[in-house]
Amino acid sequence: MPTTQALLVIDYTNDFVADQGALTCGQPGQQLAPAIVSLAEQMRSNGDWVLLPTDVHTPNDPYHPESQLFPPHNVRDSWGRELYGPLKDWYNDHQTETTVWQFDKTRYSSFAGTDLDLRLRERHVDSLHLVGVCTDICVLHTAVDAYNLGYQLVIHENAVASFDPVGHAWALRHFKNTLGATIV
Ligand code: ZN
């Protein structure tokens, strides 16, 4: 039987998490590392898909809307775009496995302009577990698209974070009350 679950580890990179990151969530983001790595390992060893949608940008791209909103971040081949801390080690150990893959995204949603939906449908995945950052930006936009495409959602409260505690709390309510997500 093919697996029907996938874990999406969203934007858990130095720029979004580390102290020196360009758009860091800081301590709330850093403290997620053990829970994220533990869940990735649990799902990998269970035969589930572990996907790592990762923002990628060209600095000061005049056509990209985020150039007006945020400083340069997650620039291709930069330190800022590397996975943070122990997740980097975990990914290095497992990146050649069929069920583990990292892919580029250029917008908040992991579905925008990517082949994620096609890949999930090919694999008969109907349930998505979301972790990473930021709860109220890239996790939120990914969850909204997933909801509209008909996926069941599980949000791991101890494995999502934001630089904005009000936005974080609002997004958790929105996942549950508006997107029908299970919060665990
Ligand atoms: Zn971005």
pLDDT tens per residue across span 131-171: 999 999 999 999 999 999 999 999 999 999 999 999 999 99
Cβ–Cβ < 8 Å for 98, 69: no
Q: Tell me how far apart the alpha carbons of residues 69 and 92 are, in angstroms, rounded to a whole number.
A: 32
Cβ–Cβ < 8 Å for 142, 108: yes
CA–centroid distance, 50 to ligand 1, in Å, is: 21
Q: Tell me how far apart the alpha carbons of residues 127 and 41 are, in angstroms, rounded to a whole number.
A: 18
Hey, CA dihedral for 111, 115, 118, 120, is it positive or negative? negative
CA–centroid distance, 183 to ligand 1, in Å, is: 25
Q: In this structure, which amino acid lies at residue 104?
A: D
Cβ–Cβ < 8 Å for 146, 128: yes
Decide: helix, strand or coil at residue 75. Answer: strand
Indicate if the pLDDT at residue 112 is higher than 60: yes
Q: Tell me how far apart the alpha carbons of residues 163 and 144 are, in angstroms, rounded to a whole number.
A: 20
CA–centroid distance, 3 to ligand 1, in Å, is: 30
Task: Give the model's pLDDT for residue 60.
Answer: 86
Strand positions, DSSP E, the chain = 5-10, 49-55, 100-105, 127-133, 152-161, 182-183
Task: Give the model's pLDDT for residue 28.
Answer: 97
CA–centroid distance, 66 to ligand 1, in Å, is: 6
**CATH for 79:** 3.40.50.850
- The mean pLDDT of the chain is 96
- Average the pLDDT over 57-78 and give the result: 94
Q: What is the CA radius of gyration of the chain?
A: 15
In the numeric block, which tokens belong to residue 6? 């996938």
CA–centroid distance, 138 to ligand 1, in Å, is: 9
Indicate if the pLDDT at residue 32 is higher than 90: yes
> Do strands 5-10 and 127-133 pair parallel, antiparallel, or not at all (unpaired)?
parallel
Q: Tell me how far apart the alpha carbons of residues 83 and 62 are, in angstroms, rounded to a whole number.
A: 26
Residues with C-beta atoms within 5 A of ion ligand 1: 55, 66
CA–centroid distance, 168 to ligand 1, in Å, is: 18
Domain range for 46:
5-183
